[in-house]
């Protein structure tokens, strides 16, 4: 029974789903070297323009401030083995991102830009990988279309501009998956690609733990097992695959375990196994990543229904366009989405490594359908009016984002007005060419891509910085410190993570327990202070301030305000009497 099931599954995969062995059998437009160079420069310029600008807005709490603080403490303590947070070991994640962030801060200074730079460079490198390695697998034009599709995934761009670990992990996972496939794709095993794949996987393990190996190895195993050809990886290959892991990862794991005896149980059992099986936090249903995928890939996700038809249609016309290479990309994408769907703990950024693989498949679909003028199919007919419809959807999205931006700012400014006029201009262009031939050709797709880039840029360089500033406690404190340059900033129960990036650090005082004697001493020692308090302790701290004759600035908000000592009524009367005697 099991043998028959295996035969049927392999037959379905090789004869029905992905019957084409070599992409050279497909009718595809080949770019000249000059065209490929121009396309590469366009991609790189677009990548810089979308990902790099306006990174100096306040770090988003709590994740960005926490990771920046860990890097700052590494620099201050000189301990590069045990990550610490508020002086205590922070063993939730391995240290590679902390090392890179600390190096960036040490080189460029303690700023928001330097803190985010390693994550941004990881995202930029991932886009480059999709094109550079993808063209060896699916061809130059398909890989370029895939890279541009990835660059138009809003979730990928937004996550890539945050100081989080997922962007760096996605880079290493994609590098490992693509390099590993290039190693086994042809008759002769390419050891250089295979070692590169193992090294990338090892660096992923040093970024976020064993999840890197669990994401990289199964697609290579599954694809080889289904195909039963030269792509099937042998035991000796896997032995070589894990060698970089021993060389790169084991030294740090041994060193940190030696310094922190509880590391093994906490990291491997509590923070990896238990989070996957029991979901200690961020629990979500199995289908959580279905809507998340559409949101994370927007506006590229508007093409996902067509990609589904391209992958699963039974028509001979579509089947003859599906290669074994496409099958591997599908295996990798499905595995990553399935793995995190089975996990109890779910966050939107977890599926970031799947987006480049799905985008590559998107590039193949566009290359073989929309941009093959001589081919007519159900997909090309359906996507014919796509540019004009997508442009209108993007203008509507811009209107929503701009409205929220105005709500945060409290007023219109020049940027919002310009965005509004550009949106009106896009509508005018679309309506003028509605259902005409020029609305369906390659320039129309390029126009829609430019509109998408504009909407993404407005969101990432204007809206998100404003929203981050609005909700940032440190930004509110920083707005007060110029008027009170020598006044201490006292954090009651609130963590001053990454305060060094925005505040004169010598004025910062942290009191974790508002009920302690240390808190009472702080209140009695200072006649003026900028108070930062979490909402849980807000009322208690305000009552303590009143008891110590400290008045609260009426212009402050609930959690950030200036407190000044005032003379008691008795002292005030005594001073008046003394002046009268004199």
For residue 81, the SS3 value is coil
**16, 17, 19, 24: CA torsion to nearest 10:** 150
Mean pLDDT of 267-296: 87
Q: What share of the chain is helix, strand, coil (3-state, %, to 5)?
A: 70, 5, 25
Distance CA 69, CA 300 (A): 35
Residues 208, 77: one domain?
yes
Give me the pLDDT at residue 554, please. 62
Asked if pLDDT for residue 280 goes beyond 90, the answer is no
Per-residue confidence at 131, pLDDT binned at 50, 70, 90? very high
Asked if pLDDT for residue 27 goes beyond 80, the answer is no
- Asked whether residue 195 is domain-assigned, the answer is yes
- Asked whether residue 38 is domain-assigned, the answer is no
Distance CA 407, CA 405 (A): 5
Parallel, antiparallel or unpaired: strands 508-511 and 489-492: parallel
Asked if pLDDT for residue 163 goes beyond 60, the answer is yes
Describe the crossing of helices 386-409 and 414-432 by its angle, rounded to 10 degrees.
160
Give me the pLDDT at residue 272, please. 87
Give me the pLDDT at residue 412, please. 87
Distance CA 396, CA 480 (A): 38
Residues 218, 360: one domain?
yes
Distance CA 176, CA 244 (A): 12
- Domain range for residue 444? 386-468
Answer whether 55's CB lies under 8 Å from 64's CB: no
Residues 324, 358: one domain?
yes
Question: What are the beta bridge partners of residue 565?
Answer: 550
For residue 185, the SS3 value is coil
| Torsions phi, psi for 368 (to 5 deg) | -90, -10
- Asked whether residue 568 is domain-assigned, the answer is yes
H-only helix segments in 28-165: 33-51, 63-77, 96-108, 112-132, 134-138, 140-151, 154-160
Across 183-187, 300-304, 478-482, 551-555, the highest mean pLDDT is recorded for 300-304
For residue 20, the SS3 value is strand
Nearest to 153 by CA among 2, 359, 316: 359
pTM: 0.93
Q: Which residue has the tokens 């699916």?
A: 138
- Asked whether residue 46 is domain-assigned, the answer is no
Distance CA 127, CA 452 (A): 17
For residue range 337-391, list pLDDT tens digits in order: 999 999 988 999 999 999 999 999 999 999 999 888 777 778 888 888 899 999 9
Across 411-415, 436-440, 527-531, the highest mean pLDDT is recorded for 527-531
Residues 219, 238: one domain?
yes
For residue range 444-471, list pLDDT tens digits in order: 999 999 999 999 999 999 999 999 998 8
Last residue of a domain, one of 344, 365, 383: 383
Parallel, antiparallel or unpaired: strands 528-533 and 508-511: unpaired
For residue range 40-78, list pLDDT tens digits in order: 999 999 999 999 999 999 999 889 999 999 999 999 999
Q: Which residue has the tokens 């890539």?
A: 160
- Asked whether residue 1 is domain-assigned, the answer is no
Describe the crossing of helices 191-208 and 211-227 by its angle, rounded to 10 degrees.
150
Residues 425, 530: one domain?
no
For residue 372, the SS3 value is coil
Asked if pLDDT for residue 582 goes beyond 60, the answer is no
- 142 or 438, which is more confident: 142
Asked if pLDDT for residue 196 goes beyond 90, the answer is yes
Residues 327, 392: one domain?
no
- Asked whether residue 12 is domain-assigned, the answer is no
Residues 327, 222: one domain?
yes
Identify whether 299 is preceded by a cis peptide bond (ω within 30 of 0): yes
Residues 403, 354: one domain?
no
Q: How many CA atoms, within 13 angstroms, populate the side-chain half-sphere of residue 308?
A: 6
Answer whether 181's CB lies under 8 Å from 137's CB: yes
For residue range 107-122, list pLDDT tens digits in order: 999 999 999 999 999 9
The domain tally of the chain equals: 3
Asked if pLDDT for residue 573 goes beyond 70, the answer is no
Give me the pLDDT at residue 569, please. 44
| C-alpha distance from residue 261 to each of 25, 199, 255, 271, 524 (Å) | 58, 27, 10, 15, 41
Asked if pLDDT for residue 518 goes beyond 70, the answer is yes
- H helix or E strand, kind and range, residue 368: helix 354-368
DSSP codes joined into one string, 550-581: EEEPTTS-SSEEEEEE---HHHHHHHHHHHHH
Q: With helix as H, strand as E and coil as C, how does 484-551 read?
A: CCCCCEEEECCCCCCHHHCCCHHHEEEECCCCCHHHHHHHHHCCEEEEEECHHHHHHHHHHHHHCCEE
Last residue of a domain, one of 383, 413, 448: 383
Q: Which residue has the tokens 């019957």?
A: 19
Residues 189, 241: one domain?
yes
Considering only 124-128, 174-178, 419-423, 522-526, which range has the smallest mean pLDDT?
Answer: 522-526
The residues, any chain, with a CB within 8 Å of residue 451's CB and separated by 6 or more, are 390, 391, 394, 395, 426
Distance CA 284, CA 145 (A): 33
Distance CA 246, CA 484 (A): 53
Give me the pLDDT at residue 555, please. 61
Considering only 161-170, 241-250, 519-528, 573-582, which range has the smallest mean pLDDT?
Answer: 573-582
Last residue of a domain, one of 366, 383, 400: 383
Q: Which residues of 565-578 are buried (b: 16+ CB within 10 A; e: fewer)?
A: beeeeeeeeeeeee
For residue 336, the SS3 value is helix
Give me the pLDDT at residue 338, please. 97
- Asked whether residue 162 is domain-assigned, the answer is yes
Nearest to 568 by CA among 544, 555, 552, 551: 551
Give me the pLDDT at residue 548, please. 83
- Asked whether residue 514 is domain-assigned, the answer is yes
Give me the pLDDT at residue 505, please. 67
Answer whether 197's CB lies under 8 Å from 183's CB: yes
Q: Is 309 exposed, middle or buried (0-12, 13-18, 19+ CB in 10 A)?
A: middle
For residue range 381-412, list pLDDT tens digits in order: 888 889 999 999 999 999 999 999 999 888 88
Mean pLDDT of 268-275: 87
Residues 378, 392: one domain?
no
**477, 478, 481, 483: CA torsion to nearest 10:** -110
Residues 295, 184: one domain?
yes
| C-alpha distance from residue 120 to each of 164, 237, 248 (Å) | 10, 33, 23
Per-residue confidence at 186, pLDDT binned at 50, 70, 90? confident
Residues 437, 550: one domain?
no
- H helix or E strand, kind and range, residue 84: strand 84-85
Answer whether 356's CB lies under 8 Å from 126's CB: yes
């Amino acid at each position: 029974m099991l043998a028959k099931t295996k035969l049927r599954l392999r037959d379905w995969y090789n004869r029905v789903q992905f019957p084409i062995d070599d992409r050279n059998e497909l009718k595809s437009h080949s770019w000249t070297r000059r065209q490929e160079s121009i396309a590469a420069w366009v991609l790189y310029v677009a990548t810089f323009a979308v990902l790099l600008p306006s990174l100096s807005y306040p770090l988003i709490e709590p994740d960005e401030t926490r990771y920046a603080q860990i890097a700052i403490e590494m620099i201050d303590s000189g301990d590069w083995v045990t990550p610490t947070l508020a002086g205590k070991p922070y063993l939730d994640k391995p240290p590679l991102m902390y090392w890179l962030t600390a190096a960036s801060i040490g080189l460029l200074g303690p700023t928001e830009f330097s803190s985010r730079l390693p994550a941004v460079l990881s995202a930029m490198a991932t886009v480059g990988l999709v094109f550079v390695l993808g063209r060896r697998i699916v061809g130059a034009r398909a890989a370029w279309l895939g890279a541009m599709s990835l660059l138009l995934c809003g979730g990928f761009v937004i996550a890539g501009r945050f100081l989080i670990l997922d962007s760096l992990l996605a880079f290493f996972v994609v590098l490992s998956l693509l390099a590993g496939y290039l190693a086994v794709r042809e008759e002769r095993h390419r050891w250089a690609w295979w070692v590169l794949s193992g090294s990338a996987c090892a660096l992923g393990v040093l970024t976020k733990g064993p999840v890197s190996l669990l994401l990289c190895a199964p697609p290579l195993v599954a694809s080889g097992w289904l195909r039963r050809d030269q792509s099937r990886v042998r035991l000796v290959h896997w032995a070589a695959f894990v060698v970089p892991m021993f060389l790169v990862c084991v030294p740090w794991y041994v060193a940190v375990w030696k310094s922190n005896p509880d590391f093994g149980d906490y990291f491997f059992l509590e923070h990896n196994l238990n989070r996957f099986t029991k979901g200690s936090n961020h629990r979500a249903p199995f289908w959580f990543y279905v809507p998340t995928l559409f949101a994370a890939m927007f506006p590229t996700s508007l093409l996902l229904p067509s990609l589904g038809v391209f992958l699963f249609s039974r028509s001979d016309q579509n089947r003859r366009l599906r290669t074994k290479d496409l099958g591997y990309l599908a295996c990798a994408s499905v595995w990553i989405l399935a793995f995190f769907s089975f996990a109890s703990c779910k966050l939107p950024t977890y599926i970031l490594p799947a987006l480049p693989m799905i985008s590559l498949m998107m590039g193949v679909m566009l290359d073989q359908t929309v941009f093959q003028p001589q081919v007519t199919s159900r997909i090309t007919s359906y996507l014919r009016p796509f540019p004009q419809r997508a442009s209108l959807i993007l203008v509507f999205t811009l209107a929503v984002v701009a409205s929220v931006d105005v709500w945060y700012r409290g007023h219109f400014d020049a940027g919002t007005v310009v965005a509004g006029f550009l949106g009106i201009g896009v509508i005018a262009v679309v309506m003028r060419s509605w259902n005409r031939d020029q609305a369906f050709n390659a320039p129309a797709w390029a126009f829609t891509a430019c509109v998408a880039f504009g909407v993404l840029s407005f969101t990432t360089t204007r809206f998100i910085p404003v929203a981050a500033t609005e909700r940032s406690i440190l930004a509110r404190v920083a707005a007060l410190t110029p008027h009170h340059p020598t006044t201490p900033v006292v954090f009651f129960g609130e963590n001053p993570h990454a305060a060094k990036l925005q505040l004169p650090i010598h004025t910062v005082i942290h009191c974790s327990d508002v009920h302690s004697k240390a808190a009472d001493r702080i209140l009695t020692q200072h006649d003026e202070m900028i108070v930062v308090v979490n909402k849980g302790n807000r009322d208690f701290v305000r009552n303590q301030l009143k008891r110590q004759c400290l008045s609260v600035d009426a212009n402050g908000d609930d959690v950030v305000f200036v407190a000044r000592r005032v003379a008691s009524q008795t002292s005030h009367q005594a001073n008046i009497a003394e002046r009268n005697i004199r």
